[in-house]
Amino acid sequence: MGLLDGVLGGLGDDAAGGLGELLKGQGGVAGLAEKLGGAGLGDVVGSWISQGANAGISPEQITAALGAGPVADFAARLGVDPQQAAETLAGLLPEAIDRLTPGGTLEGAEGLLDGLPGGLGDMIGGFLKR
């Protein structure tokens, strides 16, 4: 995970805040799920929401589904290039969505999202310790 560790090292709060902004900009967790589903990634995002193993997503799939603008905004928040930001999102989104949907459904996810960055800051810290 070396590159991801380097990108996120010392950026926990910025990454959490940026991820929260990105999710809210996509219409929340439900909006992101819809956008990813529309890009042919419904099974992938469904695995993040449901209870069980989270499927992976590539940086290229992230950029194609979300668009270059939101990825560039996230990159600017972190002070990295868009490719690094897409790699970061590919590593963080599965676990972030999983944690925002603890019951295996979208119900209640927006309430948890409104409480960011605290919860995601903790998740990002745990992600970096792997």
Instruction: Provide the CA 42 distance to its chain's centre, in angstroms.
Output: 15
3-state SS class at 74:
helix
14, 101 Cβ separation under 8 angstroms: no
Which residues make Cβ contacts (< 8 Å) with residue 68, sequence separation at least 6?
82
Tell which residue, 35, 101, 98, has the closest CA to residue 69: 35
Taking only the tens of pLDDT, the chain with its 130 residues reads: 333 344 344 446 667 778 888 988 998 888 999 999 999 999 999 999 998 899 999 999 999 999 999 999 999 988 999 999 999 999 989 988 888 888 887 776 666 666 655 445 455 555 444 4
What φ, ψ does residue 114 adopt, rounded to 5°? -65, -20
